[in-house]
């Protein structure tokens, strides 16, 4: 809190500056006594009358030559930029926005979103959970030593020296688990075929991952078993099998016909080679 007092003072200062400038947008009034025909006392009431929607009568000339408004100029952009920067620094010091105040909004890849979320988790939760894990580790081992010393039933084999046991708490076990990050990791692994369907649906937190993975396998390899109770699917599968069988039969018939033609061609060539050569008639 002490570190953020100066930042809070700057925030209050900039907010007051913006409010004052916004209130002064309407600006003050400048009244020409000569051109408006008003007295000094009447001129003081011009601002009140105009702000309430009243009417000011000018005897002669253009109204703007007699009464004019001078609005305050707009504040430079640096004022608002400093306000945003101080707000960001204040959140960072309190640790409520993590190392990435923008979050995962501007990240377009799954890997970038996972890295950003892990940075936030480490920034917000890492400083406390580390000491809680160490404290839990000490407490568990302290209780274990009490069992060694005071619990006579804590003997694996009667009369034997109990084995040396040490309890340790896994580092990072108290950090919050982000289900979205886990799901994104699973989808990324599935995209490169590095995770099984069962593990994928478990990480996606489906209620029946084994059944869904089995259905996918059956739909690819044995759809007739998966859709055995659906008559329309069975008819479609039967038609598909019939078409495949017809295609196989036609292919076999074509191969047999081609083989038969090749045999007939070879027989004809053999007969032509074995036939005696024709003798020319010389008597003519």
- Asked if residue 232 has pLDDT above 60, the reply is yes
Do 190 and 169 belong to one domain?
A: no
33-47, 61-75, 132-146, 160-174 — most confident range? 132-146
State mean pLDDT over 109-114: 62
Instruction: Give the per-residue pLDDT at 166.
Output: 84
Give the Å distances, CA to CA, from 208 to 67, 188, 201, 205, 230: 79, 21, 8, 9, 22
The verdict on residue 267 lying in a domain is no
Q: Where is the domain boundary, 40, 62, 89?
A: 89
Do 107 and 167 belong to one domain?
A: yes
Provide the domain limits for residue 38: 2-89
State mean pLDDT over 36-62: 71
Do 81 and 142 belong to one domain?
A: no
Instruction: Give the per-residue pLDDT at 256.
Output: 87
Do 183 and 171 belong to one domain?
A: no
Cβ distance 195 to 189 under 8 Å? yes
Helix ranges (H only) for the chain are: 5-23, 33-36, 40-44, 46-51, 63-66, 77-94, 110-150, 179-191, 197-203, 209-221, 223-226, 231-274
Instruction: Give the per-residue pLDDT at 210.
Output: 93
- Asked if residue 235 has pLDDT above 60, the reply is yes
Q: What is the mean pLDDT of the chain?
A: 77
Do 146 and 185 belong to one domain?
A: no
Of 138, 127, 206, 128, give the one whose Cα is nearest residue 169. 138
Cβ distance 175 to 128 under 8 Å? no
Instruction: Give the per-residue pLDDT at 103.
Output: 53
Please give the residue that has the higher pLDDT: either 276 or 100: 276
The verdict on residue 152 lying in a domain is yes
Instruction: Give the per-residue pLDDT at 28.
Output: 66
C-alpha–C-alpha distance, residues 146 and 206, integer Å: 43
pLDDT in tens, 177-223: 667 778 888 888 999 999 999 999 999 888 999 999 999 999 888 88
Do 46 and 107 belong to one domain?
A: no
The verdict on residue 242 lying in a domain is no
Instruction: Give the per-residue pLDDT at 140.
Output: 92
C-alpha–C-alpha distance, residues 88 and 43, integer Å: 47
Instruction: Give the per-residue pLDDT at 106.
Output: 58
Please give the residue that has the higher pLDDT: either 43 or 205: 205
pLDDT in tens, 156-177: 666 677 778 888 888 777 666 6
Of 65, 90, 76, 69, give the one whose Cα is nearest residue 21. 76
Cβ distance 72 to 19 under 8 Å? no
Two structure tokens written together for 59: 């005897």
Q: Where is the domain boundary, 41, 58, 89?
A: 89
The verdict on residue 241 lying in a domain is no
Per-position b or e across 22-52, b if 16+ CB within 10 A of its CB: eeeeeeebebeeebbebeeeebeebbeeeee
The verdict on residue 54 lying in a domain is yes
Instruction: Give the per-residue pLDDT at 138.
Output: 92
The verdict on residue 146 lying in a domain is yes
User: Does the CA dihedral 68-73-74-75 come out positive or negative?
Assistant: negative
Please give the residue that has the higher pLDDT: either 258 or 97: 258
In percent, how much of the chain has pLDDT > 90?
10
The verdict on residue 260 lying in a domain is no
Phi, psi for 29 (deg, rounded to 5)? -105, 145
Instruction: Give the per-residue pLDDT at 176.
Output: 65
C-alpha–C-alpha distance, residues 101 and 120, integer Å: 9
Do 168 and 186 belong to one domain?
A: no
pLDDT in tens, 62-91: 776 677 776 667 788 888 888 888 888 887
Q: How many domains does the chain have?
A: 3
Do 109 and 36 belong to one domain?
A: no
- Rg for the chain (alpha carbons), in Å? 46
């Amino acid at each position: 809190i002490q570190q953020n007092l100066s930042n809070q003072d700057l925030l209050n200062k900039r907010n007051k500056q913006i409010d004052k400038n916004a209130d002064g947008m309407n600006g003050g009034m400048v009244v020409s006594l000569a051109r408006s025909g008003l007295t000094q006392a009447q001129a003081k009431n011009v601002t009140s009358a105009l702000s309430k929607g009243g009417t000011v009568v000018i005897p002669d000339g253009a109204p703007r030559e007699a009464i004019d408004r001078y609005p305050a100029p707009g504040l430079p952009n640096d004022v608002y930029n400093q306000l945003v920067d101080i707000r960001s620094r204040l959140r960072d010091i309190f640790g409520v926005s993590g190392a990435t105040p923008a979050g995962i909004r501007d990240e377009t890849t799954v890997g970038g979103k996972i890295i950003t979320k892990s940075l936030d988790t480490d920034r917000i939760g890492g400083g406390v959970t580390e000491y809680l894990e160490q404290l839990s580790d000490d407490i568990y081992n302290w209780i274990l030593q009490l069992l060694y010393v005071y619990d006579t039933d804590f003997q694996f084999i009667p009369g034997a020296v109990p084995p040396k046991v040490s309890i340790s708490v896994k580092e990072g076990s108290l950090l919050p688990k982000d289900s979205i990050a886990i799901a994104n990791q699973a989808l990324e692994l599935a995209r490169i075929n590095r995770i099984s369907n069962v593990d994928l649906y478990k990480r996606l937190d489906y209620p029946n991952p084994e059944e869904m993975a089995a259905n996918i396998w059956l739909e690819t390899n044995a759809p007739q078993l998966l859709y055995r109770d659906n008559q329309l699917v069975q008819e479609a599968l039967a038609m598909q099998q019939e078409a495949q069988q017809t295609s196989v039969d036609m292919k076999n018939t074509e191969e047999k016909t081609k083989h038969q033609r090749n045999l007939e061609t070879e027989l004809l060539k053999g007969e032509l080679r074995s036939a005696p050569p024709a003798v020319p008639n010389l008597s003519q």
